[in-house]
Structure 1
């Protein structure tokens, strides 16, 4: 779309009222943004929407038939509640749903039994069934002038409570009539559009927003889906080409250096996966030169405890053997301190270069965090700037302007999804030459997601676990159906402690209650055990457990983000030493914390955590050769949709299988969009699990385009589409996982 045309403000074409509403509720302000706000799905006027397929806790639009309507006066305040039961005509009444209206005089008048209407609202859950409260609706007459049911599908747009789908559709329809669609430019190269048999841009916009039949919107959707994939993959291919064009310094290592000494002293054998990935990384570090490929850009993913840090450490030692330094960027102070201690311990004398008793030719490891004392911070800064410290480990403090390196050759980013593009680049700029990059994630990523999110990185996977890692058993503890289990949890914990082991207890919040109060009896009925229940807090549970008879004489401590850093360090050291039997914590222990004697994890309100987070958390137990157990405690009813996540986690320890399930259960934008980039998902029609062939074909096209035209000088419309859809803010999602 031409920049001038697409950038026109909606107010000029739709009027101030409509434009203001679209911007306020959807963040849409230009012609391009509204035209590219595609329908999520389509409804046929003659068909009712399956109610059991409605997405829980999201805005939904459906067509249904009214079965009954009743009204009652509220007891504690003025007004009435109108309850409407609607159906999709599923046999046995299984496809029914109750709607509640506050003071719904219009609904009471219009929604009589037998009426067919389109409803739009947020799907809730009460009394083991789905509900809608105060939804918007429009009546459907269901027939055309000839008495036949209208064939034209009804577009359903992603809506909000204040702006239902049909109001968005009216605005889009008005825009289609006001804009000269023939003037719109096409980001797809003509040869690709011809090869795929795609419609023109003008026809595609009309068919996707105003289809005459299902075949039209399907044809248009295929075109825009491929276009989306091509724009995304071209952006990634261009970035990768730019990276590879940089002149990196080859880090050849040394046959009798630190890495050789480290390997010789290892008390165990590397797994086959660690060896293979190590060779791969070593070759890439050594191959970079002014005449050869650019710096290494590699994603290292693997299960919790698969030995990624050891692989990264060996790469760091090769860089140090070549005269360079390595920086390890960690998301939390707890994890940074854990890395610091574990790397120093495993290196032993090799990390005491220049010290009495240290290895001749060894290096030093230093830690830099924001809460360190001024003298300690000064010493760490000096060690990094002078090159005395070959390995510098830290949090966001590493990004400070005060931090300088003697020769930064390798950046290792742990848990990449915690960092933004600008943070990674800030560390890159501290190197005199483009540094090598190793990104680690313990959340396994499906291949198609890796192609889409990390398309500018080569990918390595560690699938096998080192010797000594025991299996983890996970169980859903439903307190609604089994109230007595609330006591059994702590008895079970005591059994582990009496056996000489330790226990983690994870809570979703630290202290004071958050969120709205429970509704009064006159408001739409909600489950008190559902979304409005008070969540377990570390501070409150700590007090309860210290008074729990089953845990008498046990030392129980708390760990959370508000603690003083020195206190955090002391508590974690005591827990690691076995002096603390139970640690009540927030998710601060989610990654990296390594206590071999911990065998049981109790996760309170487990339904409030995502699949990947639950998988990460339970990976903290069973790390010392002892079987691990994770108890996923929930107060939700068995039928509640959020229980599906818990059942999925309890059913398997395969992180790749769980990542697929995670992507299916939650909106894709949560993974690739809003939660990553701070805005709406950059993916509109593309679904990375479902459209692997499209992504692969688009990637091949993108690589060829960039090879022939690196700066997109002959593909200006494609370059413009990249700029419009992947501006610097939205492009952040490309480098997150």
Structure 2
């Protein structure tokens, strides 16, 4: 059923205005505009006399227009309209840019009420782009006072679409909008004392008092959480309705386990049993394994691959970088041993293979002789065809979107089992919001023998002289026969590696130019402390062969110091590496710093991590760095990260589903609401799986899925 929310803005506002809203704000439908909620509400406040106007204060005054003059701007194109008003005791200027048309209504002698923030220009008080309402000659003083007390919605705006323009457009849309079906069942609405969807939209956009928008936001926030959780739960149930091939573990896994030179941890065994149970079922596994850096998630995934290989099935492991893909391949071959590796023929597919290597890999994949396939995004290409894809493993899920998971899934004749790995611990609310269609398993326990990592903040803002000691400390580790990493946020003065950057990482970062790989390499090679040391660089602009050979040389001990970008963030495993120096650590996110630190202390050698920062004490950027230094517990850090981000990009754009992503719900504060909404949505779906009794909710879910499909098609 079509909803009024699906109507194009052009049909209500006209093509010109609709185009401006689409270009400036990405809003195309009535629903888009009405879910573009005010970010705050301003107070017009008490009426203020012109003689008592304090700077930078929002004021409301009643005054009369004395004169209005329009003139061209000197420095750029456009015009300025300056309107002088007076309340009989003082004079104030109103300034409007490129709005000459207002001269027709702001004529001398007209009285009105004017609201805005007091600024100064050339020593005179002014209001720039104030809100105002002009009176009829016989205006009722009570009506004037009532208008003065209305909350003013302030919208997220741009330089091309102002807040007041959004407010006017919303009013036009609301005036033309009929009744709306309510996706929240009547019983739930009554129980939670929520207003109807239509009433909530009126109250959030056109409140007459503060309690109005409070009630509206409570209703809309719950609706957002409820519809999201219902969508995720229905998606999970639909996956379970499809038939998958049961993959029972057998002798291949049993002999592998028997020959392991170490004991699995308790968590590895417990999670492995959950995975085995999922694989043996005839519905597709859809499981997320989250675990600390170095907790052995990849081994759990490899054991699942062996269970699939037992029945002739193939497994595809999707890795975020070529460095990690090659490392995974080497690690899998080494762990399997020569005989098993020869039988299962692990094969790699990346974008950097030669044409001959690519043909050979594609043939091994399509014939089924490659039972284990490791690759980057190249695995998603149309030319890649599997013989019997039974298991999809996605490593470091935070680097991939839902659509990549789906692109691999559709390469199987029957829905494959899906295993998602992440070393970025996920707070419960994020797991419910982002990965609500997955079952979640957790590995907290680290394998025996993992060495502790000591972390220190090097605060250059207060202790600029400590930088010399950083290089001395790295040199001391090399003297012991160990190796080290130096991580920089940029390759050179013109190239960073945006694919590796976290969206929130630069918020509050120290100003100034970022440390670069090229400059750091030159400085280290010129430093007498490192005379005779082998120092090389690794970054994303190198060829696949170069990156692979550098990592092999580093792993073999032929390189002492690797100066790198965050391409070494995940998966790189060199047991002899003991020291990690992160330059401009404030330019990285919490999870990145935790991942980077996990590259040392992986063998019998204790790890040292020095987080160098120029961020001022007390800044958000400095707090991020200090949070990482304060604990090795990734789960504790995940919670701190949520607190520090102030929401930021917690969900990640690749997870959010375009314009259907969250508006009012905040995973940083709404954990209880999300959990409650999930439980209530589960109850509704259990009683009415097809939602025959809840058509409005079904329509809302279909609309959400359509929006996500649209976003996916737009990206591809």
TM-score, normalized by length of structure 2? 0.81
Q: Is the 8 A contact 1:513 1:534 kept in 2?
A: no
Structure 1 residues 399 and 580: alpha-carbon distance in aligned structure 2, compared to 1, 3 A threshold = same
Deviations 1:150-187 (A, max 9, x none): 554333323335545444334323433x3234x22222
- The root-mean-square deviation of aligned C-alpha atoms, in Å, is 3.4
Q: CA deviation at 1:403?
A: 2.5
Q: Is the 8 A contact 1:324 1:408 kept in 2?
A: yes
Q: CA–CA distance in 1 between the matches of 2:668 and 2:188? A: 23
Q: CA deviation at 1:4?
A: 5.1
Deviations 1:413-465 (A, max 9, x none): 10112223332222222222221111001100011111111111110000111
Matches within 5 A, 1:76-475: 117-118=116-117, 138=130, 151-176=149-174, 178-181=175-178, 183-254=179-250, 257-286=251-280, 288-289=281-282, 294-353=283-342, 362-475=343-456
Deviations 1:98-128 (A, max 9, x none): xxx9x9xxxxxxxxxxx995499xxxxxxxx
Q: Find the counterpart in structure 2 of residue 36 from structure 1.
A: 35
Q: Which runs of 5+ in 2 are unaligned?
A: 47-55, 61-73, 77-94, 98-113, 120-125, 134-140, 497-505
Deviations 1:298-336 (A, max 9, x none): 100011111100111111111112332211111111101
Q: CA–CA distance in 2 between the matches of 1:427 and 1:693? A: 34
Q: Is the 8 A contact 1:63 1:116 kept in 2?
A: no
1:635 aligns with 2:614: yes
Q: CA–CA distance in 1 between the matches of 2:386 and 2:18? A: 51
Q: CA–CA distance in 2 between the matches of 1:572 and 1:381? A: 25
Q: CA deviation at 1:412?
A: 0.9
Q: CA–CA distance in 2 between the matches of 1:158 and 1:654? A: 37
Instruction: Kindly tell me the number of residue pairs found equivalent between the two proteins.
Output: 634
Q: CA–CA distance in 2 between the matches of 1:259 and 1:680? A: 45
Q: CA–CA distance in 1 between the matches of 2:3 and 2:659? A: 23
Structure 1 residues 532 and 22: alpha-carbon distance in aligned structure 2, compared to 1, 3 A threshold = farther
> Which one has a bigger Cα radius of gyration?
2
Q: Which runs of 5+ in 1 are unaligned?
A: 48-61, 67-76, 80-100, 104-114, 121-133, 354-361, 516-526
Q: CA–CA distance in 1 between the matches of 2:118 and 2:569? A: 41
Structure 1 residues 11 and 327: alpha-carbon distance in aligned structure 2, compared to 1, 3 A threshold = closer
TM-score, normalized by length of structure 1? 0.79
Q: Is the 8 A contact 2:401 2:654 kept in 1?
A: no
> Bigger CA drift: 585-594 or 719-728?
719-728
Q: CA deviation at 1:587?
A: 0.8
> What is the aligned counterpart of 1:701 among 638, 656, 680?
680
Q: CA deviation at 1:410?
A: 1.1
Q: CA deviation at 1:135?
A: 12
Structure 1 residues 18 and 673: alpha-carbon distance in aligned structure 2, compared to 1, 3 A threshold = farther
Secondary structure in 2 aligned to 1:727?
helix
Structure 1 residues 691 and 425: alpha-carbon distance in aligned structure 2, compared to 1, 3 A threshold = same
Q: CA–CA distance in 2 between the matches of 1:531 and 1:482? A: 15
Q: CA deviation at 1:558?
A: 0.5
Deviations 1:494-521 (A, max 9, x none): 1111111111111112224269xxxxxx
Q: CA deviation at 1:648?
A: 1.8
Q: CA–CA distance in 2 between the matches of 1:119 and 1:315? A: 66
Q: CA deviation at 1:624?
A: 1.0
> Bigger CA drift: 436-445 or 473-482?
473-482
Secondary structure in 2 aligned to 1:505?
strand
Q: CA deviation at 1:584?
A: 0.7
Matches within 5 A, 1:600-615: 600-615=579-594
Q: CA–CA distance in 1 between the matches of 2:152 and 2:604? A: 58
Q: Is the 8 A contact 2:4 2:177 kept in 1?
A: no
Structure 1 residues 535 and 308: alpha-carbon distance in aligned structure 2, compared to 1, 3 A threshold = same
Matches within 5 A, 1:639-658: 639-658=618-637
Q: CA–CA distance in 1 between the matches of 2:455 and 2:132? A: 49
Secondary structure in 2 aligned to 1:671?
coil
Q: CA–CA distance in 2 between the matches of 1:401 and 1:717? A: 38
> What is the aligned counterpart of 1:489 among 465, 470, 480?
470
Q: Find the counterpart in structure 2 of residue 533 from structure 1.
A: 512
Q: CA deviation at 1:581?
A: 0.7
Secondary structure in 2 aligned to 1:642?
helix
1:727 aligns with 2:706: yes
Q: Is the 8 A contact 2:658 2:711 kept in 1?
A: no
Q: CA–CA distance in 2 between the matches of 1:197 and 1:147? A: 31
1:510 aligns with 2:491: yes
Secondary structure in 2 aligned to 1:599?
strand
> Bigger CA drift: 221-230 or 660-669?
660-669
